[in-house]
Amino acid sequence: MSRRVVVAAAIVAGNRLLLGRRGDPAEMAGRWELPGGKVRPGEDPSTALCRELDEELGVQARVGDRIGDDVPVGTEYVLRAYRADIVAGTPVARAHTELRWVDAAELAAVDLLDADRVWLTDLRALLG
C-alpha cells in the first residue's frame, strides 16, 4: 500500500525558520514542527502546501525547491519538505498553539517532531 504524502514548509526570513507548536494529538502536543499537512488525493503537493499554509497560518506562499529526503512516518505517511516564501500576510497560529521564528541555535534546542528532526542539517544550512 502506498503511503500518503504529508508536505511541510521551511519558511525562512533572515536567519530564522518558522516553527509551529502542535496542540494535538496528545502524543505530539507541545512539540514543534514545520507547518504543513496531508496532500489530498489527486492534489499537486505544491498546491497542497499552499493550501495548508493558508489554512494553518493565514498566509499566501510561494513553494520552492524540495529540501532533504522524504521521511517515512509510521506506516501511513511519508513526509516531504519544501522551501516556501510568504508572499502575502503575516503568520497567525490558526492550527498550532504557538508560532516561533528560531535561529540555528534555537532550532538545535527545540523539541522538534522526530520526523522533522531528520532534516536538522538541511534546515541549519538554510539559516547560514
Binding-site ranges for ligand CDP (CB under 6 A): 6, 8, 33-34, 36-38, 73, 77, 79, 113, 115-116
The span from the CA of 111 to the CA of 89, in Å, is 27
Minimum distance from residue 119 beta carbon to ligand CDP (Å): 9
Residue among 15 and 57 whose Cβ is closer to ligand CDP:
57
The residue number with the shortest CB distance to ligand CDP is 37
The span from the CA of 49 to the CA of 67, in Å, is: 14
Nearer to ligand CDP, 57 or 116 (CB): 116
C-alpha cell at 5: 504524502
